Amino acid sequence: MREQTAVLDQVILVNLNVTLWSGRTKIRPQDLVAVQGKLPPEDLASLGHKKTIDPVELRPFNSLKKEMERACLEVGTRFLGGYAIPQDHFDALAAKLKNIVDRAGDAKAKLLSTYDARIEGWINKHQKWGDIIRRAVVPSPVVASRIKFEWTAVRVSPAVTGDGELAGSTEAQANGLGSQLFREVAQAARETYGKSYEGKSKVGQRAVRPIKTIRKKMESLRFLDRRIGPICKEVDAVLEKLPKTGDIEDSEFLALRGLVILLSDEDSMKRSGAKAIGEVVDDSDTNQADSLDDDGSSDDSVEGWEFETETPCEVVDAPTSESEVTEQVAEEKAEEAPEEQTQTPPPQEKKPASTGWFF
């Protein structure tokens, strides 16, 4: 128990409480016959729902929600329905979340201040269907109540019964944080491989950013598992040898690609980390992350870094200074040249040995 309590002492549980308004309502039978039985256009209705406002007007809120989730996953890992955030990184995250909440409030106020005009603009775009749109419009106070951007932060401590027994499964959940981190890193690396490395013989500087983000996440949570520290050192060893500008190719590219493949497989990371700290590891029954079928292709496609969010969580740190902006522009220009394509197999996700839920 002391080990799990020590872990919980070093993290803060952050929960995001974000709700969005979809701007959609269900299509009723009378809507389908309102204009001589003709179906409404796809941008107005789809999958049994009709839109009462242009979806473009609501995109900023979805983007801000995803930004909050990415900010938490940059330095934390999923835990108890929220995110376990290291104490040392909490203040910076809190500042980011406050900024996002403030921007969401501004976007909400702007939407509500011109709500009626936006509705009328959508109706004017679909004049033939104007009546069915008007019947479905909700008042602006309802919209205001449905759009919410909030978050909470609490300390977590296992509860103990009167008999001194631990209640619930908090201890087990805390004990699994290390494995959860390895799983999230592997998912992020597979996504990175599919987007930036698959079928290539060289990459630009932009392809290194996701690896740096993964490394930052692992470093911030290395106290969860002793095997994480050695993996961070392996990442550093590869990154230190890469050129700072221009394309990455030849031996540097092979080393970088090999690193991504290692990070793409949680079992390989655990074995590598265990060996580095002197643990005995049985390599007799391994399933290499880059194994291939007989025809030379992988038997699984690269999965997205989803984590219960609506889009892959590829995180790119925004430039915070003029020098970083200049460096980013230089990197992007360097990547404009076409890259030579080769057939390189993507890493595979491990297949579970038994049936059941798989995250």
Give residue-wise pLDDT tens across range 105-151.
999 999 999 999 999 998 898 888 788 888 888 899 999 999 999 99
**What's the DSSP call for residue 303?**
P
Q: What is the pLDDT of residue 316?
A: 37
Q: What is the pLDDT of residue 24?
A: 75
pLDDT digits (tens, 9 = 90+) for 305-324: 333 333 333 333 434 444 44
Tokens 């296992």 map to which residue? 158
Confidence band, pLDDT 50/70/90 cuts, at residue 336 = very low
Q: What is the pLDDT of residue 288?
A: 42
Burial 306-317 (b: 16+ CB within 10 A, else e): ebeeeebbbbee
DSSP H stretches of helix in 114-208:
115-125, 130-136, 140-146, 170-175, 177-192
Greater model confidence, 153 or 44: 153
In this structure, of 30-39, 224-233, 235-244, the range with the lowest mean pLDDT score is: 30-39
Q: What is the mean pLDDT of the chain?
A: 77
Share above pLDDT 70 across residues of the chain, in percent, rounded to a whole number:
67
Q: Which region holds residue 302: left if phi is over 0, alpha if psi is between -120 and 50, else beta? A: beta
Q: What is the pLDDT of residue 353?
A: 42
Structure tokens at 181: 């981190």
CB 20 within 8 A of CB 65: yes
Neighbours of 105 (CB within 10 A): 12
Task: Summarize the chain as % helix, strand, coil (round to 5).
Answer: 50, 10, 35
Q: What is the pLDDT of residue 135?
A: 84
Confidence band, pLDDT 50/70/90 cuts, at residue 46 = low
The pTM for the full model equals 0.68
